[in-house]
Structure 1
Amino acid sequence: MKKTFLLNSELSYCISKLGHKDSLVIGDAGLPVAEGVQRIDLAVSEGIPSFMQVLEAVLAEQKVEKIFLAEEMRTASKDLHQEVLNLCSQNQVGLEVEYLPHEDFKQQTESCKCAVRTGEFTPYANVILVSGVVF
């Protein structure tokens, strides 16, 4: 049995296949997933699991050099926005943050290797994580 923090085998496998500059998106319950992007659906019900719980688990396993967030998150979900920045900066040194209009953000998800759906109902609770290297 796996003993690291992230126990979901499908998600762990997706992260293990990521190379430098590959990305995955963690989204709320309503984020559309483009055809051809692997969907990992963790949503059980409203708020379960939360966006932040999934982000924390993924950051325990993935080296991230950059994140993309929707510009709208800064005003529509201020508290969550700050939580994301705090958690990401604690786990990743030298992290770059880029903001996109939500429509452009959704377009950017089309190039992600996988999309993780959470039970989150908070507006714009979505992040694209771009893989770094561990050396």
Structure 2
Amino acid sequence: MKKGGILNRHLAGAVAELGHGDGVLVCDVGMPIPDGPRVVDLAFRAGVPSFSDVLAGLLDELVVESAVAAEEVREVNPGAAELLAGSFGDLSYVSHEKLKELSAGARLVVRTGEARPYANVLLRCGVFF
């Protein structure tokens, strides 16, 4: 049994398969999930697990070279906007519609139980060397 890190076997396995340039969408419970990417659905109840908890766990295990969020998050969900701005030096913003289009190219989608709007981010994996 693992001692720490991501304990969910489906998510741990999916993370282990990621490579440089792969996209990972971490999303709230309301984000439409496109056909194609592997999906690990962690949603249990509204708010559980939270976007911030799942994002923190993923950032402990992933090298991220860039991140994209919906520009609407800054106005509608200041808490998520602050979390995202503080988590990424290279954070860019696009419209929510554009983020949905971009998410179709993700290799992995991690759905949280977050029930606040626009708590979504598309990560681009980097390399550790």
User: TM-score band (shorter)?
Assistant: over 0.9
Q: Which amino acid aligns with 1:127?
A: V
Residue of structure 2 equivalent to 1:131? 125
Deviations 1:32-51 (A, max 9, x none): 11111111110000100000
Give the distance between the partners of 2:85 and 2:9, measured in 1 at CA. Answer: 26
Residue of structure 1 equivalent to 2:103? 109
Contact 1:52 1:84 in 2 (8 A): no
Q: Offset of 1:124 from its aligned partner?
A: 0.1
Residue of structure 1 equivalent to 2:74? 74
Give the distance between the partners of 2:34 and 2:115, measured in 1 at CA. Answer: 20
Structure 2 unaligned runs (5+)? none
Deviations 1:50-109 (A, max 9, x none): 0001001101111101000000011111122112222x24xxxxx411111000000000
3-state SS of paired residue (1:111): coil
1:121 paired residue among 112, 115, 118 = 115
Give TM-score scaled by structure 1 length. 0.91
Give the distance between the partners of 1:5 and 1:18, measured in 2 at CA. Answer: 16
Q: Offset of 1:4 from its aligned partner?
A: 2.9
Poorly superposed stretches of 4+, deviation over 2 Å: none
Residue of structure 1 equivalent to 2:9? 9
Q: Which amino acid aligns with 1:115?
A: V
Q: Offset of 1:8 from its aligned partner?
A: 1.2
Contact 1:6 1:60 in 2 (8 A): no
Give TM-score scaled by structure 2 length. 0.95
Q: Aligned residues: percent identity?
A: 38
Q: Alpha carbon RMSD of aligned pairs, Å?
A: 1.0
Contact 1:70 1:105 in 2 (8 A): yes
State the aligned residue count.
129
